[in-house]
Amino acid sequence: MREGSRVARRDVLAFGAAGLVGLSGLSGCLGGVGGTGSGGDSGTSTTADGANRSLADHEAAVGLDAQPSLGPDPFEATATIVAFEDPSCPTCRRFEQNVVPRLQPAIENGTLSFVARSYPVIYPWGKPAVQALEATYARDEDAFWGLYRHYFEEQGTFSTANVLDLTRTWLSANTDLDADAVVADAEAKRYDDAVQSDLDAGDAAGANGITPSLFLFRDGQYRTVVRGSAANYDVIAGTLEL
């Protein structure tokens, strides 16, 4: 059983609701496939390669039952987003702040399932951050979502040198978890298999080292992948018929 948390799941997607600007003019984040990145301009793309495939059979969904999600069961939802993101990616931050709040009504009414998968390919501090996210998720899913949000909200404050210390401080102040134990697990890479599973799934699915990479499914069938700054609300809502 997971330890308790003071983070409320229903509040997780509420941050950044002000200034809901479109992302069409923003570049995506480009890393190296397999986890080495530079944070450069991705170019952006929306492709429908692999159409007519089911969620259950798609590479993005390998191990999906073990992933944190918001809304209904991803295999039962009318619409599902499998999101490969890096907490260090500026384009992911803009997506989380400007687009995700607009998706919240569909999540809350049971239409949309949002699944988070780690894809740390941009700046180096993203790697220890996702180790901490996995260690947090193993204990409490609500705390995971709170920490996930925190990394994007305070993205500019993190570095490889301080990310785990700042993570410990945030967990101690905002959850009931043993923050020292979470950080110790992150340092030891106790959940590295889970991190690698996400990286492998993203690479196999065609994320191509670009974040965010969003794989969109409607009625259990694959529709398209939206990468980088192409991940704007109108594209997502139109594709998923939200």
List the CATH number of the domain containing 128. Answer: 3.40.30.10
Number of folded domains that form the chain: 1
Range of the domain at 153: 46-240
Q: Is 102 part of any domain?
A: yes
- The highest-confidence range among 2-6, 29-33, 140-144, by mean pLDDT, is 140-144
Q: Which of 89, 96, 111, 98 is nearest to 202 (CA)?
A: 89
Q: Is 4 part of any domain?
A: no
pLDDT tens for residues 157-207? Answer: 999 999 999 999 999 999 999 999 999 999 999 999 999 999 999 999 999
CB atoms within 10 A of CB 73: 12
In the structure, what pLDDT confidence band is assigned to residue 52 with cuts at 50, 70 and 90? confident
CB atoms within 10 A of CB 20: 12
Tokens found for residue 176: 């009931």
Q: Is 165 part of any domain?
A: yes
* Amino acid present at 171: L
Q: Is 19 part of any domain?
A: no
For the chain, the helix, strand and coil percentages under 3-state DSSP, each to the nearest 5: 45, 20, 35
Q: Is 120 part of any domain?
A: yes
Percent of the residues in the chain that have a pLDDT greater than 70, as a whole number: 80
Q: Is 163 part of any domain?
A: yes
Q: Is 171 part of any domain?
A: yes
Q: Is 115 part of any domain?
A: yes
